Structure 1
């Protein structure tokens, strides 16, 4: 598809440079003029202004920064706006739009992204979430959740618009940030007090994050020239996952690689000897290392041993009661649901466990299962769309796995996400949308490569 160059491209570039240079400066001057600030706050404001300018100069830098912030997401709270990452997402997307206005190749890539079936399914799901405000029990909560959904949709589009070579760099940034989070939390004594996590993140969500990063490091060809360093970093991430005491994380740690090996065997991918066996040996080594620390190992054994008593209500930490109440909610609102984000609003009326959680932490009585959450909030229509999105993504990653190590890593990570989502409300998390965007980017790159002349492919 060809595009005619937009007129007045010089004016667009001038407007772009004005945003880079003037807006950050005006923002800092406005804050300084409105209220007295100390030197530390002023430095933070200047750093934010410089970051803003860099992101407006190269939108990819904003995306890399977003990925680097994932292990520390709970730390980026900006007053009533709540989430500083939303602000960075918006600025990065604006920078991408400016780039598309000036560059035909970027416009073509965005058009290709928007024409993908997976993108259309996501757009439909987001639109359905927004429409659910019309019948939502609490329209304000539905509006907030729809805004979150729109934010992660923008994140998906930006990742999908990346060149394939930058996908690996993006996940490399995430891996290094995850390793830094694990090491930093361990150095701060996070393993000795309570459940291990970084920057006040939920331990279960942190376990899922580091497991997905470990999957990209193990299967994605990152640091493939530095085999020893690669497996050392994988060991650090796996130790971090085990220290969180996440029982779902432990199941994902065992189940996702096995499921991936079974699936990839049918595609002819040589993953067993190259990756799965070293991965299994590494897990055994990690367990051996942890066993050398009795003060750390004892609570791990106590918590993980509860998996053998799966019939006990304590093992599920109230989830069984919440799930039973959620199914009753679905029976009352089967087709349209209760509205985006409204599960936590209504669940205390259907479950004593949910009411207890809501008393301890208002708004915290979520479904703890992304499929049940989607079904209860967006009805059968929403669940069908959500399952179709996951199926399409897994199928696309599987078809690309013979030709791309990153696609193999995406496939394993999607399986980790599937397992973790069985006990987490992860349907609105940023992480799966990074995975979906990566799959689309790799798919577009693969099609472009296959359309090249054979002589250029050989090169």
Structure 2
């Protein structure tokens, strides 16, 4: 092996290591302290997560961009790649017509950079990403660590002393802290080390689906049961309704696609069912409150605000159907729209829907490009379902996250969520070696 080849091999390993570190850091809300513009907290470069993403992409480039050529050999891959570049280019162009381009040009610049970083990360994952087995370890490990942190916060009903790792000051009595209210009692939801329980829920959901798929075949049955019960309990105490729906969809997909194996492990239903029953027994008033069966003011207010921003998003699309209001500019458009057209005096917020977010900020052109990226990626991933058991879990995770996207926004508005969605999609797209595909197909043949 020549020195150049050794350098490229080392660079590839460093890139794959960076990818695993990136996934491991996603559940942490780490920003550069006291950093100047453009590295301050309100911009994408203010997040520490940028470093491992740039590391991953940089070393992949030094390695000679291995795996890139394979995307030019298949029509579906080529469509996905071309549309990905066009989407990022459209986001960059939106700076020229952004709603706040004069007063706050950094809004569009930051969001466009976020899309570019996430897209580059996805391309690396789709070309020469890390081993899917190591990804399983990272995602399940993150679920356990951050799930236990979130569970401890619910038990403590407050922070547990991890401020050095970015834990927020959590007091259920304070306004702005996410709680569930039942009969006048405020119950703190699990946060982990993120600024909202729904964000933690998505991390737990991905880990739980990966663990569920692994549990169907592993010989470590007791360990599998313990991991699944811990993950399920942690997800439940986030009280994230969208994540609960995502879990149901993901488990359904895994069960259907692996029904023969699932039948052999039917007994897994028992410990997971008992975990759910214990949760319902302990928190049933709060579950009913989240289900909307009561008239709790907090839940009614939350639903009202979400409905308001859904309407404002539709108005943004109606006013700017082709271009949108510019990447990262919807919250400011919402603020002005609400102030000028209603009696409400509330600050603008993101619309809790990733598809409406893209349409409102990048217009129907941006939505078409974004949708094509997702559809082409899912199509490629589904065609490879038989190549590897972990591929089924990845597809289940992706479809669950896309379902959650109907109710939340962080997979397109925040770097960690964007990188997680795009990174998982990239890994699901990555082709398997022809020998491995042939071997698996041979094993499944009658």
TM-score of the pair, normalised by structure 1: 0.74
Q: Does 1:150 align with 2:108?
A: no
Look up the match of 2:192. 198
| Structure 2 counterpart of 1:120 | 82
Residue of structure 2 in register with 1:423 after alignment:
407
1:283 and 1:356 map into 2 onto residues whose CA distance is 45
After superposition, residues 24-423 of structure 1 pair within 5 angstroms as 58-72=14-28, 74-78=29-33, 79-80=35-36, 81=39, 82-100=46-64, 107=66, 109-113=67-71, 116=77, 117-139=79-101, 140=105, 141-162=107-128, 166-188=131-153, 192-193=157-158, 194-220=188-214, 224-258=218-252, 264=257, 270=260, 273=263, 280-291=269-280, 294=282, 297=283, 300-306=286-292, 313-314=300-301, 316=303, 318-351=305-338, 358=347, 365-423=349-407
Query: Contact 2:22 / 2:52 at 8 angstroms: preserved in 1?
Result: yes
Structure 2 equivalent of residue 32 of structure 1: none
Residue 172 of structure 2 corresponds to none
Q: Aligned in 2, Cα 1:412/1:188: closer, same or farther, shift over 3 Å?
A: same
SS of the residue 1:71 aligns to: coil
Q: Is 1:75–1:200's contact at 8 Å kept on the other side of the alignment? A: no
Deviation larger for 225-234 or 338-347:
225-234
Map of 2:426 onto structure 1: 437
What is the total number of aligned residue pairs between the two structures?
Answer: 391
Q: For residues 250 and 175 of structure 1, what CA distance do their matches in structure 2 show?
A: 18
Superposition deviation, residue 299 in structure 1? 5.9
Name the SS of the counterpart of 1:337 in structure 2: coil
Structure 2: 5+ residue stretches without partners: 40-45, 159-187
Q: What CA deviation, in whole Å up to 9, does each residue of 1:203-243 have, x standing for no partner? A: 11211221121111112569723122123212211211111
Q: Give the TM-score, by structure 2 length.
A: 0.76
Q: Are residues 261 and 188 of structure 1, via their aligned partners in 2, closer, same or farther at CA, if it must alter by over 3 Å?
A: closer
| Distance in 1, Cα, partners of 2:428 & 2:277 | 35
- Give the aligned partner of residue 164 of structure 2: none
Preserved CA contact (<8 Å) 1:354 1:365: no
Distance 1:148 1:249, change over 3 A: same
1:41 paired residue number: none
Tell me if the contact between 1:125 and 1:386 (Cα under 8 Å) persists in the aligned partners. Answer: yes
Larger helix share, 1 or 2? 1
Deviation at 1:354, TM superposition (A): 12
Q: Is the 8 A contact 2:151 2:237 kept in 1?
A: no
Q: C-alpha distance in 2, partners of 1:416/1:308?
A: 28
Query: Measured at CA, do residues 317 and 179 of structure 1 come closer, stay the same or move farther in structure 2, by a change above 3 Å?
Result: farther
Q: Secondary structure at the match of 1:365?
A: coil
**1:269-292 CA distance string (max 9 Å, x none):** 6465257x5665454222223246
Q: Is the 8 A contact 1:247 1:307 kept in 2?
A: no
Cα 1:457–1:145 change in 2 (3 A) is same
- Cα 1:350–1:279 change in 2 (3 A) is farther
